[in-house]
Amino acid sequence: MLDDSAYFFDTSQGVSAKLPRPAIDASDELLGYNCTLTAAADGAQWVVYLIRTKTPSRGLTPESEQIRIHSFDLTGRKPPVVKPFPLDSDESWSLYPGSGTFVVYRTDSNSNLDEVAFFNPETLDISAQSAVPAPNEDWIVGFNYYGYALARDTSNSTRDMHFISGSTGQEVGLFPDWGDMVSTESGFLVEHTSEDGARFFDMRTNALSDVVAPYLVADELMHQGDKLAWRGTPAAAADQIYGDFFLYQGNLDDPGYFLSVLNLKTGKSVFTLDSTQLDGLKIANAHIAGQYLYLEKEEGDNPVIDFLTRDVAASTWSLRPAAELANGWSLILTGDAKTSNSIGTGVSDDAYLARGKNGQPYSGPWF
């Protein structure tokens, strides 16, 4: 049966409420389901379920399996929507949030994207879709909340990256001589084959930035211990983004190791330490929140750095905001550098939600 213990936090009301669940016929067998929270175009929260069931044989009617999509407006203002799943009926589909949409995708045995589709949560209609065609043609590189990226071979033995809007299905940008990429919630970090230098394509504005980092770190995005999320989804970068700021690091064992903070809204780097400046600091891990960097070192202190002024704000921390939510809320993790968990590895029992006075954005404490 469907899990009946799931709750969501309503950021507009500041309360937790039980997630609505689809009704399943008592005689049907639940084979599996996926679930995600997303936002409609007006910002209202919706919960979407992809549910596989089996109906037993009755009389001369053979047993059958079906997949349906269910969506619920969490404000309760609009009625639930349910439709048959319009894509292949197999077990390999996953769900992901979107901006005014939600994403349905599946991967092959090598964890490469095989198909991706964007749906409107209010109607369950497909707004954009791409499946991998014959070999040596387009292939899907990654997706995020706003769309997806296709790689396409050119006549001069290079590949171009084409950016496709998830809400319209239209191409909104092109990056020639594409070499590699990393997905974030709002865009893609990309690099040419012929030259180093990471750039950011913003799917919100369809704009490509200048070089924002010396090179693109794709296989080991950031330095996150043994947690390497697949880089074609926004999950790979989620722990290192707070608001519009993205903490981006080079490989620790690379002579050109660097640490940068990128402003994803402006496409500019606002803080950088190169390998010479990092030499001897022995940074094992780093986090970001507000305008602060939280540095975990192998030896010495674990300072909090104001990356806008480059000042040391504190020699350690007892809490740190880990994620910025809607309507001014932030998720706060308690503990110091040795005990405060990352979002990707789990949240401690002492985590809590907070925001500023009168519903304003969270304004501290920061450490």
pLDDT per residue, tens digit, the chain (367 aa), is 677 788 899 888 889 999 999 999 889 999 999 999 999 999 999 999 999 999 999 999 999 999 999 999 999 999 999 999 999 877 789 999 999 999 999 887 777 788 899 999 999 999 998 865 544 567 888 999 999 999 888 877 788 999 999 999 999 999 999 988 889 999 999 999 888 889 999 999 999 999 988 888 765 444 443 333 466 888 878 888 999 999 988 776 677 789 999 999 999 999 999 988 888 888 888 999 999 999 999 888 999 999 999 999 999 999 999 999 988 999 999 987 766 555 554 556 678 999 988 888 999 999 9
The CA-atom distances, in angstroms, between 153 and each of 98, 111, 179, 229, 235 are 28, 21, 12, 27, 27
pLDDT at position 225 = 37
Instruction: Please check whether residue 119 lies inside any domain of the structure.
Output: yes
d(CA 33, CA 35): 7
Residue 91, φ and ψ in degrees, nearest 5? -95, 5
Residue 204, φ and ψ in degrees, nearest 5? -80, -35
The number of residues in the chain equals: 367
The CA-atom distances, in angstroms, between 110 and each of 107, 113, 122 are 8, 9, 33
For 8, what's the count of Cα atoms within 13 Å in the CB-facing half-sphere?
21
- Residue range(s) defining the domain that contains residue 34: 1-132
Tokens of 208: 């490509």
pLDDT at position 12 = 84
- Give me the residue label for tokens 């439709």: 83
pTM higher than the cut 0.85 = yes
Specify whether the CB–CB gap between 138 and 144 falls below 8 A. no
Instruction: Please check whether residue 310 lies inside any domain of the structure.
Output: no
- 271: burial class by Cβ within 10 Å (0-12, 13-18, 19+)? buried
Residues 6+ apart with CB under 8 A from 192: 176, 177, 178, 179
Instruction: Please check whether residue 343 lies inside any domain of the structure.
Output: no
pLDDT at position 347 = 56
pLDDT at position 73 = 96
Instruction: Please check whether residue 184 lies inside any domain of the structure.
Output: no
Instruction: Please check whether residue 235 lies inside any domain of the structure.
Output: no
What is the total count of domains within the chain?
Answer: 1
Three-state SS at 33: strand
pLDDT at position 218 = 64
Instruction: Please check whether residue 69 lies inside any domain of the structure.
Output: yes
pLDDT at position 335 = 85
Residues 6+ apart with CB under 8 A from 331: 321, 322, 323, 325, 343, 347, 351, 352, 353
d(CA 294, CA 285): 8
pLDDT at position 343 = 55
Instruction: Please check whether residue 89 lies inside any domain of the structure.
Output: yes
Specify whether the CB–CB gap between 277 and 310 falls below 8 A. no
Instruction: Please check whether residue 14 lies inside any domain of the structure.
Output: yes
